[in-house]
Structure 1
Amino acid sequence: MNSTQAWVTYLSKVELPVLANTLRRIDELADNRNSTVNELANVILNDAQLTSQVLRLSNTVFYNQTRTQVSTVSRAITLIGFDAVKSMAISSLIVDSLLKRNDRPHLLRCLARAIHAAVQARCLMPKRNETALEEVFIGALLMNIGELAFWSCETEQATELEQRLRLDEPPAEAQKTVLHTTFPEITRGLVEAWSLGPFIRDVVAPGQANSPAASLVRHSVEMARLSEKGWRGAEMDKILESLAKDTGETPAVIRDQLKVNASEATRVAVSLGIPQVTALMPGNEDSPADSAARAPDMDAELQLHILRDLTHSLAERPDINEVCQLVIEGIHRAIGMQRVALLMSDRTGNTLTPRKLGGRGTDEWRDKFIIRKDGTGPLGSLLPHASCSIYQPGKASEGVDYDRWLGRVPALIGPLKANGRLVGLFYADNAAGDYVPSEQQLRAFGHFIQNAQLCLTLIASHQG
């Protein structure tokens, strides 16, 4: 492939046709206000994963200042607004479609940057109507869609470009050598091919921005890239001045605002189901240089909320299914673990197989993730000890062919017992997120599992 058009056609027709079509459908709805609520709700409801993501986002403070619980898509549209729900649907679609295909570090970094920039643009936007807020959010999220789409594909060119960038070759030159075009060119092509609308076309067009909003988006995206090296420095000062012009604030006010918004961005990433990218988002400038390998911050408020629900559940009449679902939810969302599984003894009593799964990339586990209780087989080393622990893979750790991370990455493991015998285990990892779970995460994991254990014990005592 040696031209922009060839890449645009390949990404649109071969690699990402479903994403291209769904984005087009959602975008067309916005142009035709008469169709609105029902059609948008239907597009979302057609996809179970998208529905749960949109409902999860609808209950975050970022979108829902009123804190009114939302449990249906049409309620979300009425309460939070058409544009906001459309914006959630687009963000969830982008994240899901790309990460389902790949989780190479370049893709994770680009996604982290896109989400950070989108949250910044929306928070910095001088207060206008809801449509304008969501427009800048999606504009910043999609400003590098060409690069995001490219890194989500397993192509020879992606591997070659990765190697060149590792050797510190200037990005634009490396792109021209390997792709015979550049990411901005591919982005412009995709914006046309996928009909992403006039605002995004303006954002990605060469030359001066045509509107203050487009200018704000461009500067937010540039700022998100620079912030990975800290909040200070000549380049950052320059971009702060540009953002100050875009918003009518002073650079000092903007700098303070950016740090607050950055922590909001990490919460949005967790709500989108990708806690592993929060480690790639900027911390404070005084954090150590290796902060990329740190576990993300946990959501203490959500943790308390779920623990409260668990206590309530146990007090009424314990239902093991409901309790375990809440525990999975807590480990995934409040502790920030990307993939979670509860495995229980099968009929033979010799193996543990999945009963409940949470997080992206766990579909294959349903039929294939098996741990033998005698500790043999490729995943025998995942058998839990007496209490919850952090699993650290050894040099010779065996993996499995259906999942490139299971058994090969650090994980949290906790046992479930009945009458002193192992009957189940909770497993949680961060797939490609390159860090060991923290002691704090382990403690919170232990709290959640105690509730599942308590439920089993209560049920056994009722039966007894």
Structure 2
Amino acid sequence: MLRLSNSAFYNHSRVQVSTVSRAITLIGFDAVKSMAISSLLIDTLIERNPRPHLLKSLARALHAAVQARCLLPGKNEQAREEVFIGALLTNIGELAFWSCPTEQAGELAARLPDDNPTALQKEILGTTFVEITRSLVDNWKLGQFIHDVVSAGRPTSPAVSLVRHSVELAREAEQGWRTPAMEKLLGAIAEDVNEKTATVRDQVRLNTSEAEEIAVSFGIPQIRGLLPGGHENSETTDREAPMGDPALQLSILREISSTLASQPDLNTVCQMVVEGIHRAVGMRRVVLLMAGPGSNQLIPRKLLGPGTDNWREGFTIDRDSKGPVKSLLVDHCQILPPHPDGPLLPDCDAWIGTRPALVGPLSAGERLVGLFFADNGQLQATPSQDQLTAFSHFIQQAQLCVTLLARA
């Protein structure tokens, strides 16, 4: 509560809050109730089964909740918290489903994405997420406002309409902020809040940053990389994996060779290798893990790509690991398939272990001193053999640098 009370989202006065009683006085009981409900929901879901689709759905729910609260006109705090909780729970059926480690969840996850997700849900579950949500709202007696939001038919108030549009916005924003569908949606939101479309367009982009801060405050920083525009160019789309650029590969490899011929510097060479894997091989996210002197733990040294901020603290591997994460400790460059146990580092990233990746070791003699890891984040694309070959060429240059320095 204190962490949230000191966030810009709730504490507009920027006055430091150090006691719970002061927090209640400053932000009010409605905000405290909202925090408690949100925190309980998030903690319960994440604790049960932090599968990637749950984290993605949770990112959308939190994004929608922040948008609704920030866009609602007026200063009625009770109304603000009502739309926040309303948007957060609008897809409670989907959140509840993905939190359960069932066979149906595994089957549905394996067949997504799909051109007709509703039909796929009906086929596998015999029902849909929307129908599950409506049943839960009634059975759990979540209140009239949320009932109105998830019910079929026309919205009963501008606030209900705003929540529905905020939920739709959170999903559509994943395709970019300048799509025709987004323009139409921004116009609808502008009518909800009685503002100009241009004003709303600017506001929603700012609200996404607020959502990132709130994710950290709620203890789920791993979803920041799943929020639209948080760590990458918002005008791009995630539908297609980037491709390798052979000409750029050759150019960067020549630069590395020139550096090795003059004065080998491991830090410089590794930075160039990471950039080459990212820019020329075409992998969206790249990390070099290395062990410090006398340490048995590989920790991030070089990072590139969207959604890698959490890797600095959470992406660590013990060289004597015996659990699922041991699959990353390879002895040669290879394409690593998705792990059957799901996310390898769920507290750090939703996609490591659930998507194909390129992995390659860095050795000093027979001792593993580093590890290169590259993937495409949430994309399902498997790296090609050409990309694996180029990836291996770059790592060979880093390995050559280690060997030259060992001989010096």
- Into which bin does the TM-score normalised by the smaller protein fall? 0.5 to 0.7
Q: In the alignment, what sits opposite 1:143?
A: 90
What is the distance in 2 between the residues matched to 1:376 and 1:278?
Answer: 30
> In the alignment, is residue 215 of structure 1 matched against residue 155 of structure 2?
no
What is the distance in 2 between the residues matched to 1:263 and 1:405?
Answer: 24
Structure 2 gaps, min length 5: 243-282, 287-308, 333-338, 354-376, 380-408
What is the distance in 2 between the residues matched to 1:208 and 1:260?
Answer: 29
> In the alignment, is residue 378 of structure 1 matched against residue 313 of structure 2?
no
What is the distance in 2 between the residues matched to 1:287 and 1:262?
Answer: 16
Q: In the alignment, what sits opposite 2:345?
A: 405
Alignment of 1:149-164 (within 5 A): 149-164=96-111
Tell me the TM-score normalised to structure 1 length: 0.54
What is the distance in 2 between the residues matched to 1:194 and 1:66?
Answer: 36
Q: Could you tell me whether the CA contact under 8 Å between 1:140 and 1:220 is conserved in 2?
A: yes
Paired residue type of 1:114: A
Paired residue type of 1:256: D
Q: In the alignment, what sits opposite 2:189?
A: 243
Change beyond 3 A, Cα 1:72–1:172:
same
1:69 to partner: Cα distance: 2.4
Secondary structure of 2:112's counterpart equals: helix
What is the distance in 2 between the residues matched to 1:338 and 1:131?
Answer: 38
Deviations 1:324-370 (A, max 9, x none): xxxxxxxxxxx64697699xxxxxxxxxxxxxxxxxxxxxxxxxx9x
Paired residue type of 2:92: I
Q: In the alignment, what sits opposite 1:113?
A: 60
Q: Could you tell me whether the CA contact under 8 Å between 2:66 and 2:207 is conserved in 1?
A: yes
1:395 to partner: Cα distance: 3.4
Change beyond 3 A, Cα 1:172–1:376:
closer
Alignment of 1:258-277 (within 5 A): 258-277=204-223
Q: In the alignment, what sits opposite 2:267?
A: none
What is the RMSD of the two structures over their aligned residues, measured on CA atoms? Answer: 3.7
Q: In the alignment, what sits opposite 1:395?
A: 330
What is the distance in 2 between the residues matched to 1:338 and 1:183?
Answer: 35
Tell me the TM-score normalised to structure 2 length: 0.61
Structure 1 gaps, min length 5: 1-53, 296-334, 343-368, 383-391, 411-432, 436-464
1:150 to partner: Cα distance: 0.3
1:188 to partner: Cα distance: 0.9
Deviations 1:167-188 (A, max 9, x none): x251110111111111111111
What is the distance in 2 between the residues matched to 1:113 and 1:210?
Answer: 23
Change beyond 3 A, Cα 1:228–1:288:
closer
Q: In the alignment, what sits opposite 1:358?
A: none
Deviations 1:369-395 (A, max 9, x none): 9x6xxx65638x99xxxxxxxxx9333
Paired residue type of 1:405: L
User: Which of 97, 102, 114 is matched with 2:44 structurally?
Assistant: 97
What is the distance in 1 between the residues matched to 2:224 and 2:199?
Answer: 24
When the two structures are aligned, how many residues end up with a matched partner?
283
Paired residue type of 1:202: D
1:434 to partner: Cα distance: 6.8
Q: In the alignment, what sits opposite 2:26?
A: 79
Q: In the alignment, what sits opposite 2:137?
A: 191
Q: Spell out structure 1 runs of 4+ moving beyond 4 A.
A: 290-295, 335-342, 406-410
Q: In the alignment, what sits opposite 1:32?
A: none
1:161 to partner: Cα distance: 1.2
